[in-house]
Copies of this chain bind each other. A is one copy, B any other.
Amino acid sequence: MAKAKGPTPQSQDFSAWYLDVIQMAELADYGPVRGTIVVRPYGYALWENIRATLDEMFKATGHQNAYFPLFIPMGFLQKEAQHVEGFSPELAVVTHAGGEELEEPLAVRPTSETIIGYMWSRWIRSWRDLPQLLNQWNNVVRWEMRTRPFLRTSEFLWQEGHTAHATKEEAEEETRRMLGVYVKFATEYAALPVISGLKTEKEKFAGAVYTTTMEAMMRDGRALQSGTSHFLGQNFAKAFDITFQDKDLEEKYVWTTSWGLSWRIIGGIIMTHGDDRGLIFPPKLAPIQVVIVPIYKSETRQEVLEAAATLQAELKAKGIRVHVDDRDQYTPGFKFNDWELKGVPFRIELGPRDVAAKTAVLASRLGGKETLPLGELAAQIPQKLEAFHQALYERARRFRDERTRVVDDYESFKEAVAEGFALAFHCGDIACEKTIQEETKATTRVIPFDAPEESGRCVRCGKPAAYGKRVVFARAY
């Protein structure tokens, strides 16, 4: 598995760099079916940490997990007009099963609003059955033309939350609460600075009244939609006849929301933090937070490995995810490169002279080395992981801020979106948004919640601006 050289430099070809690091770090490989990937153990361990973290946050906000079927009768998808328009071009369809042609073809779920709506219409009778606060971790299929590992794959793993409420207010609160959970996760765990806000009509989820989103900037200046939360109003309630008897004894439609975050967040972590040497994983999600590389010759092997094992036990006792790389067939230099490629935040180098002096060298994946007493490592590393997280976040925020420009004319807009985010006014007209996309490849990413109120004229057509504030435009994944 020895690799003679590192990934393609980011500056040379960012896309090639991305594909290189995924393969070389053994996060994932291509599956035999177009657009599918195999997530290998190191990549899956990252996903497990993402899942465990979010799952705890969902449960803390009162949600319960459930499991709804993979196959959805085609007729279900047609019940909500926008929904079918958005998803039918991407459906994978089962036409035969058990050796026979099916009477009604089955869609492989692209998302589960319809089948959950169908079940809710059977389960919900009274206001006492509300709210319904459900989530599921599952696989979905969307047959897209252009695929890229993690970012856009024919099949992907995600979670989809679905809730039903007695009132509009409650459902809108839920929509915002769950976007808030995503933002907290992005900020405090994935070290991704994100801009949260509304999607425009053109960019909203097919079937939503409105969509809230968080958007991150990748190191090539492009945006990544990293999690979305949708207020669905009564669109699905009406399509699936989901009603309840309220306290006032009136029969009413419920109000629903849905919210999802997928393994594309792994793509976001890779492209926000990585560098020419490979991945850099945020410590709270990293499968391995600290790698110990013992440095030995045959006569010092035993004592060094024993010291490494002792240190490993001390770090484990502090809850640190630590690995000892005792592969005899590789040199320390090879191992240093390998774990840098794999994005492990800290490396501990431990040789016979260190063992004798009761010290070790601690090297950060963000640069810098220091020699520390062996006995102090376990006590110091937790705060160093925290500081690493902060530094990673700040670095990404600075990068994003440096590449974000406030623009008022179309030429400056084009320059801005060629390398990052443009904060610009827009008229709100879908046709104008499409023209901008055709001419610059940029789309509206988000109408930020916290942008100052401002008025102005559309950066392209000059008509009065909509939204009462500037909008983030960018080229996006």
**Contact surface of A with B, Cβ cutoff 8 Å:** 1, 29, 31-33, 36-41, 44-45, 47-48, 64-73, 76, 88-99, 105-106, 108, 115, 118-119, 122-123, 128-129, 134, 138-139, 141, 143-145, 154-155, 157, 329
6 pairs, A vs B, C-beta closer than 8 Å:
A31-B68, A32-B72, A45-B65, A70-B139, A94-B108, A108-B108
Roughly how many angstroms separate A67 CA and B266 CA in the complex, as a whole number? Answer: 14
A68-B38, A329-B128 given as contacts; is B89 within 8 A of A96 (CB)?
no
Number of copies of chain A assembled together: 2
Q: How near does chain B come to A304, taking the closest CB pair, in angstroms? A: 22
Known: A33-B72, A36-B69, A97-B154; 4 extra A-B contacts, CB below 8 A, are A32-B69, A39-B66, A41-B66, A44-B64
Measured between beta carbons, the chain B residues less than 8 angstroms from A32 are: 69, 72-73, 76, 115, 118
Measured between beta carbons, the chain B residues less than 8 angstroms from A94 are: 92-95, 108
B91 and A97 within 8 A (CB): yes
Q: How near does chain B come to A428, taking the closest CB pair, in angstroms? A: 31
Roughly how many angstroms separate A155 CA and B47 CA in the complex, as a whole number? Answer: 24
A38 and B119 within 8 A (CB): yes
Measured between beta carbons, the chain B residues less than 8 angstroms from A38 are: 66-69, 119
B44 and A67 within 8 A (CB): yes
Measured between beta carbons, the chain B residues less than 8 angstroms from A40 are: 66
A44-B65, A92-B97, A94-B92 given as contacts; is B115 within 8 A of A71 (CB)?
no
Roughly how many angstroms separate A127 CA and B341 CA in the complex, as a whole number? Answer: 24
Contact of A97 among B71, B93, B128 (CB under 8 A): B93
Measured between beta carbons, the chain B residues less than 8 angstroms from A118 are: 32
Closest to A41 in B: B64
B48 and A155 within 8 A (CB): no
